[in-house]
């Protein structure tokens, strides 16, 4: 456990974090007492309390104020690939992803899409309208726009065969950074027809701008989920940046 290059509380924090990550202690398990941790780490009670405070700030443990510390419920972070790819997300929750392409076309974008992709006034985009399925049932409708030089690659790809995200990365497209905006919208006529809901029904919308490492905008997508099938969970603390994950709704 001891690392002479680290302050003792940091070494203890690292060890405790590893024990939780490895499954030695599971969600809800009570940690050893402060006295036991002092003995195991050959550390003072102040060092142990400092380490436990760090774990609380990370959301790994809960308790305190007279309650013994225990392993907190964890919100699982998703990798960049899994969060960006519906196909990989479906696989991660044990469901089969499907897709039904309704349109793939090259055209001039409207002002909003052009602004999101930072395009010149006369630039064209390739736009995709695709219904996404979970185990064969409608789950999400995606409206995705790509700059012409990226989107043209899709005309050589069967967009009903799987992940466009994975295909474009295989072609060398630098899909490096995603910015997500999540809100609620009312279903329009296209949403209603393809998702099987009434016009005006609430949908969970994720708008995403994907950029290269250098900052070039490569994709804009407006994805609309049936809210009973998916939701987004975010967990943060006063000292840690938030970890965002897409999860299947319990109701689904």
pLDDT digits (tens, 9 = 90+) for 27-81: 889 999 999 999 988 999 999 999 998 888 777 888 876 788 999 876 555 556 6
In a domain, 2, yes or no: no
What separation, in Å, do the N-terminal and C-terminal C-alpha atoms of the chain show?
Answer: 43
Q: Are residues 64 and 103 in the same domain?
A: no
Total number of domains in the chain: 2
Q: What is the pLDDT of residue 244?
A: 64
Convert the pLDDT of each residue in 140-182 to its tens digit.
Answer: 999 999 999 999 999 999 999 989 999 999 999 999 998 889 9
Of 250, 227, 236, 184, nearest to 77 by C-alpha is 236
Q: Are residues 63 and 102 in the same domain?
A: no
Say if residue 5's pLDDT is above 60. no
Other C-beta atoms closer than 10 Å to the C-beta of 114 total 18
Say if residue 243's pLDDT is above 50. yes
Convert the pLDDT of each residue in 179-191 to its tens digit.
Answer: 889 999 999 999 9
Confidence of residue 83 (pLDDT cuts 50, 70, 90): low
DSSP 156: G
Q: Are residues 120 and 219 in the same domain?
A: yes
Confidence of residue 252 (pLDDT cuts 50, 70, 90): very low
Collect all residues with Cβ–Cβ distance below 8 Å to 130 and sequence separation of at least 6.
99, 100, 101, 102, 141, 142, 144, 159
Which tokens hold the place of 8? 């003792």
CATH number at residue 139: 3.40.1410.10
What residue numbers bound the domain in which 54 lies? 8-71
Q: Are residues 55 and 139 in the same domain?
A: no
Task: Give the residue, 228 or 100, on which the prediction is more confident.
Answer: 100
Convert the pLDDT of each residue in 187-229 to its tens digit.
Answer: 999 999 999 999 999 999 999 999 999 999 999 999 999 988 8
Q: Are residues 189 and 210 in the same domain?
A: yes
Q: Are residues 216 and 111 in the same domain?
A: yes
Dist CA 236 CA 240 (whole Å): 6
In a domain, 203, yes or no: yes
Q: Are residues 194 and 218 in the same domain?
A: yes
Q: What is the pLDDT of residue 228?
A: 81
User: Could you tell me the CA-to-CA distances from 168 to 92, 143, 146, 233 in Å, in that order?
Assistant: 20, 17, 11, 27
- What sign does the dihedral 110-113-115-117 (CA atoms) show? negative
DSSP 236: -
In a domain, 3, yes or no: no
Q: Are residues 65 and 84 in the same domain?
A: no
Among 71, 99, 123, the domain boundary falls at 71
Q: Angle formed by the axes of helices 34-41 and 45-57, to 10°?
A: 110
Say if residue 2's pLDDT is above 60. no
pTM: 0.67
Contact (CB, 8 A) for 99 and 133: yes
In a domain, 1, yes or no: no
Q: What is the dihedral of CA 190, 196, 199, 203, to 10 degrees?
A: -90
Say if residue 86's pLDDT is above 50. yes
CATH number at residue 25: 1.10.10.10
Confidence of residue 234 (pLDDT cuts 50, 70, 90): low
Q: Are residues 58 and 167 in the same domain?
A: no
Q: Are residues 147 and 61 in the same domain?
A: no
Q: Are residues 112 and 27 in the same domain?
A: no
135: left (phi over 0), alpha (psi -120 to 50) or beta: left
């Amino acid at each position: 456990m001891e690392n002479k290059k680290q302050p003792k509380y940091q070494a203890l924090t690292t060890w405790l974090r590893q024990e939780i990550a490895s499954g030695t202690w599971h969600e809800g398990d009570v940690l050893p007492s402060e006295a036991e941790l002092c003995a195991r780490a050959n550390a003072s009670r102040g060092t142990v309390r400092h380490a436990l405070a760090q774990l609380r700030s990370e959301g790994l443990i809960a308790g305190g104020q007279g309650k013994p510390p225990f392993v907190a419920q964890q919100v699982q972070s998703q990798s960049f690939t899994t969060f960006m790819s519906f196909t990989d997300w479906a696989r991660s929750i044990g469901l089969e992803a499907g897709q039904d392409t309704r349109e793939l076309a090259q055209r001039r974008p409207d002002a909003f899409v052009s602004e999101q992709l930072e395009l010149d006034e006369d630039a064209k985009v390739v736009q995709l309208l695709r219904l996404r399925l979970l185990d064969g049932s409608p789950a999400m409708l995606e409206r995705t726009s790509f700059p012409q030089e990226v989107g043209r690659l899709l005309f050589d790809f069967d967009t009903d065969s799987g992940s466009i995200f994975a295909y474009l990365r295989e072609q060398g497209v630098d899909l490096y950074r995603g910015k997500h905006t999540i809100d609620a919208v009312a279903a329009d006529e296209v949403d209603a027809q393809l998702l099987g809901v009434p016009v005006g029904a609430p949908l969970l919308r994720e708008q995403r701008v994907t950029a290269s490492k250098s900052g070039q905008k490569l994709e804009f997508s407006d994805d609309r989920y049936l809210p009973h099938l998916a939701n987004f969970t975010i967990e943060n603390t006063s000292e840690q940046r938030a970890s965002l994950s897409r999860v299947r709704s319990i109701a689904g």
